[in-house]
Amino acid sequence: MFSDFLRVKRLTLATCLIASFSFSTQAEQLNQARDLEGQIIDQAKHSQQRIDKSSDEALALDAEIQALEREINQLSIYKNHLERLVESQQAEQLSLESQLTQIDSTRLGVVPMMYQMLDGLAEQQSQDLPIRTEQRQQRLASLNALMSQADVSDSEKYRRILEAYQIELDYGLKLGSYEAQIELDGLRQVELLNLGRVSLIARSLDHQHYWAWSQNQQQWQVLANKEHNDARIAFDVAHKVAAPSLLTLPLAISAEEQK
């Protein structure tokens, strides 16, 4: 009987040892499972962080790509603008080259024409009434000298010649008076009055003597006393001390002389 008790005790001890070993193994497995779960969680956390970082980088890269696309679009628009400017400049250059060619051709015709105009002025003065003779001769001499000045443009020379023609035209349209010297048995300082190119009267500075120019005879003729009053009125009108009125003056060129 004692032996049976001993066997039971041994069996109980063995069972306890087996149970203790099994519990210990389960605890160890549980710890391992927990460690593995922790590792998995850590790996998942790191993976999520990498995913979040990659997502942020992808968003930043996408924003950069969009900015680059906008810049490329702007550069394309600017490139097209520059191409149109270049085309416009090329067309303008061709136009300017054509104009320069025309200017050169025009200059070849304008310069001889200006010399012809100066010859015309000289001829006009030689055949005209002796109105402001000294001023006209000085103006013509100045224009002839101007033609040989390289520092003056052809356009300026042409403008000055046209200006001289305008002055010549005004002589035939206006009433004017001025002082000058005329040939009367020697040079004599007088006051001259011209009514266009119709009449040219001279008056002594003391207002006592009057002469009228005869274009046909190319000389001054004494004005009759009865014509002095009309001549005096004409000088007053020219000096703006009398109102304009109908003037009776001797003609420098008579109807017979014009024929």
pLDDT of residue 258: 46
β-bridge partners, 222: 211
Q: Locate 147 and state its tokens.
A: 């033609």
Q: Could you give the dihedral angle defined by the CA atoms of residues 32, 38, 40 and 46, in that order, rounded to the nearest 10 degrees?
A: -150
Structure tokens at 86: 């270049």
Please report the pLDDT score of residue 204 as a whole number.
94
Decide: 144 and 214 in contact? Cβ < 8 Å.
no
Q: Where are the beta strands (DSSP E) in 100-236?
A: 175-183, 187-195, 199-204, 210-214, 219-222
Per-residue pLDDT reduced to its tens digit, 33-43? 777 777 888 78
C-alpha to C-alpha distance for 176 and 235, rounded to whole angstroms: 8
- pLDDT tens across 137-183, in order? 999 999 999 999 999 988 899 999 999 999 999 988 889 999 999 99
Q: How large a percentage of the chain has pLDDT more than 90? A: 44
Cβ pair 197, 129 in contact under 8 A: yes
Does residue 67 have a pLDDT over 70? yes
Q: DSSP labels for 106-133?
A: HHHHHHHHHHHHHHHHHHHHHHS--SSH
Which residues, 6+ apart, have CB-to-CB distance to 223 below 8 Å?
Answer: 201, 210, 211, 212, 231, 250
Q: Give the pLDDT of residue 254.
A: 63
Residue closest to 136 by CA, chosen among 150, 124, 152, 151: 124
pTM above 0.85, yes or no: no
User: How do the residues of the chain divide into helix, strand and coil, expressed in percent and rounded to 5?
Assistant: 70, 15, 20
Q: Mean pLDDT over all residues of the chain?
A: 83
What is the band of 96 on the pLDDT scale with cuts at 50, 70, 90? confident
Residue with tokens 């012809």: 116
Q: Do 178 and 191 touch, CB atoms closer than 8 A?
A: yes
Say how many CA atoms lie within 13 Å of 135 toward its Cβ: 10
Give the residues across from 89 on adjacent strands: none
Alpha-carbon gap, residue 90 to 106, rounded angstroms: 24
pLDDT value, residue 44: 74
Structure tokens at 151: 């520092």
Question: By three-state DSSP, how is residue 177 classified?
Answer: strand
Q: pLDDT band at 9, cuts 50/70/90? A: low
Q: In what order do the strands lie in the sheet with 187-195?
A: 175-183, 187-195, 199-204, 210-214, 219-222
Question: Rounded to an integer, what distance in angstroms lies between the CA atom of residue 139 and that of residue 219?
Answer: 24
In the prediction, which pLDDT does 142 show?
Answer: 96
pLDDT tens digit string along 207-248?
999 999 999 999 999 999 999 999 999 999 999 998 888 888
Give residue 56's pLDDT: 79
With 70 as the cut, is the pLDDT of residue 65 above it? yes
Residue 259: its pLDDT value, please? 45
